[in-house]
Copies of this chain bind each other. A is one copy, B any other.
Amino acid sequence: MKLATYRDGTADGCLHIVSRDLRRAVPASGIAASLIDALQRWDAVRPALAALYDRLNDGTEALAAAFDPARCAAPLPRSPQWLDGSAFLNHGDLMQKAFNQSPIPQFETVPVMYQGASDDFLGPHDDVPLPSEADGIDFEGEFGVVVGPVPMAATPEQAAAALRLVVQINDWSLRTLGAHEVRTGFGFLQAKPSTAFAPVAVTPDELGEAWRDHRVQMPLHIDWNGARFGEPHGGQMNFSFADLVAHGARTRRLSAGTIVGSGTVSNRERSAGSACIAERRVIEIIDQGAPTTGFMAFGDRVRMQAKFEDGRDGPFGVIDQRVVKAG
């Protein structure tokens, strides 16, 4: 099942079901007002949503119209929590190597994760207002999951049972601020402005064979100002989404609608490129002694789209955003 949220002036937007081929959509507001409402009553509303999805795909749904990603907010315009891991250890290894950082303790056995703002997410085509180019504006291509209720101290198996939806994410980052915040030990705050999402959230079955081991087994194609920047593969996650959700729930309950992210997709193979500028820069530092690629300027665009391994377009739609001066 594929789900999207059209803006309607409310904080949570209007839930829509999107056809398998991403061409048609129909309001689902007769079943659940919003995606967060649906997630809070998932077992009760899922059959009706699935029936609507079937009618949409069959061409028998009278209210179907063309799917318009430009009308989309993030699938969840706000959510109870947004917890972002860093599950591709190749990325962290490169960062440590370039900056001669002391290794993160238990880096290979305990995920690292920060809590981000979850009250003001960006839609897939929203401009990204930021105060200063000097902050080191960067994108981060990621995958994520949306969960149902997860009890405190859930096992990875319990966490796996709570996985509801898979999403594609651009975790906007400000590297100059982040370099400072990492050194404080308090973690990322100013370094993480509003996060953006591809228009379509999908149930894991939509991924078919590309959902294995609680990982998204797809390359994420990333273009910066129209030039290919990377297409790293999501399968190289060192922790699965079940592991990450269990980590997040260790000492707290997760409310339905909590989003847990993979961290920037990163592959050992240099040919895959990178999902963020910071990683390209650390590779330049390692290879050449200094970075040659700058961060983003106002007016720059980034486009992100997951693809199946056979080259077909992925199920999430496209993130395509422009950075602009705030205020």
Contacts and interface: CB of A to CB of B under 8 A. Distances in A.
Contacts of A190: 247, 250-251
A66 B95 CA distance: 59
A131 B153 contact: yes
A86 interface: yes
- The listed residue with most B CB atoms (<10 A of its CB), out of A118, A185, A247, A327, is A185
Interface in A95-142: 104-107, 110, 112-120, 129-131, 135
A113 B177 CA distance: 13
B247 A117 contact: no
B189 A114 contact: yes
B251 A327 contact: no
Contacts of A117: 81, 115, 252
Interface SS of A by simple majority = loop
A180 to B, nearest CB: 6
A32 interface: no
Contacts of A327: 151-153
A251 B193 contact: yes
A188 interface: yes
A130 B251 contact: yes
Contacts of A114: 115, 186-187, 189
A326 interface: yes
A238 interface: no
Contact of A188 (B135, B174, B177, B187): B187
B177 A251 contact: yes
Nearest to A119: B80
A184 B105 contact: yes
A120 B118 CA distance: 14
A183 interface: yes
Contact of A186 (B112, B153, B252): B112
A215 interface: no
Contact of A251 (B110, B135, B152, B258): B135
